[in-house]
Amino acid sequence: MTDLTRFAINQITTKSWSMPEAIEGYRRHGVPGIACWRQYLDDYGAAQTARHLRDAQMWVASLCTSAWFDANDRAGIEKALDENRRILDDAATIGAPSVVMVVGGLPSNDRDLNGHRARVADALQELSEHALKTGVKLGIEPLHPMYCGFRSVISCIAQANDLCDRLGDAAGLVPDVYHCWWDPQFEAELRRAGPERILTFHLCDWLVPTRNLFDRGMVGDGVIDLPRIRGWLDDIGYKGVFELEIFSELDWWQRDPDETVRIAVERCAPLVGRLEK
């Protein structure tokens, strides 16, 4: 029996669909959850998105993503903090339990990686006050080390867990198999996090060969041992969301989103359903 109750699709997977198209498209295929992206939310409006989701009886996995903290001056960091406070407010409006924090790479003309990592940690600490106020968590997502230059200086799950330790109730972890599968510490750091800290869990696959930095695979098409990872999550008692997120310039983004969602459901259903006893 297909059990999709814990399943969401991250709407970047169906990049050419607007917010209402994604909501209707996922509902049509029996997918109850959606992770929203800001550009679609801004186009459609937070209040209208919230109404549409309520009418469709769908839930929100998260709001993607934060504004980048890729500045090394106070004015730049404050601008990003303001923007992120607004994003947290929007997340609250649509009922998103977290905003996925993609913190940005190095500031231009700055090669001090350790220094910038410390600056980002301080900025997240500052932002945590507003997160607690809105009840929306900062979802700390470690990004694959290949994005360290331009998308996020948080490059492995141990770093993300360290940040969560520091940020306390204001934050949680957003692990993604694409970003973490290679990490010898992946299983140990999921155990360290425990089930409550994991806010949503991202699925896709790692293709061989990988042709560029936006070339994620559909579940089952790559080399990640997804059933084993699901086993780790069951073992620690994770009861939360499984969310499919695919960036794919050369393949999935060029297909009809309806086909993508149909195949996504086929591939993910065995992985996201209830446990066989």
Residues in contact with its own copies by the rule CB under 8 A: 105-106, 111-113, 117, 144-146, 148-150, 155-156, 158-159, 181-184, 206-213, 222-225, 228
Q: Which residues of 53-79 are buried (b: 16+ CB within 10 A; e: fewer)?
A: beeeebbbbbbbbbbbbbbbeeeebee
Tokens for 155, please give them.
């490059």
Q: Give the span between the Cα atoms of 242 and 215, in whole angstroms.
A: 20
Tokens for 86, please give them.
């607004």
Rank residues 97 and 105 by Cβ distance to its own copies and give the closer one: 105
Least distance in angstroms from the C-beta of 11 to its own copies: 24
Rank residues 49 and 155 by Cβ distance to its own copies and give the closer one: 155
Least distance in angstroms from the C-beta of 65 to its own copies: 18
Q: Give the span between the Cα atoms of 141 and 156, in whole angstroms.
A: 9
Scanning the structure block, which residue is given the tokens 């959850």?
33
Please name the amino acid found at residue 56: A
Rank residues 117 and 130 by Cβ distance to its own copies and give the closer one: 117
Whether the bond between 5 and the residue before it is cis, its omega within 30 degrees of 0, is: no
Rank residues 137 and 151 by Cβ distance to its own copies and give the closer one: 151
Least distance in angstroms from the C-beta of 187 to its own copies: 8
Least distance in angstroms from the C-beta of 60 to its own copies: 30
Rank residues 158 and 269 by Cβ distance to its own copies and give the closer one: 158
Measuring CA to CA, which residue among 191, 151, 5 is closest to residue 64? 151
Least distance in angstroms from the C-beta of 256 to its own copies: 27
Q: Give the span between the Cα atoms of 49 and 36, in whole angstroms.
A: 10
Please name the amino acid found at residue 187: E
Least distance in angstroms from the C-beta of 237 to its own copies: 22
Tokens for 243, please give them.
């969310």
Rank residues 165 and 259 by Cβ distance to its own copies and give the closer one: 165
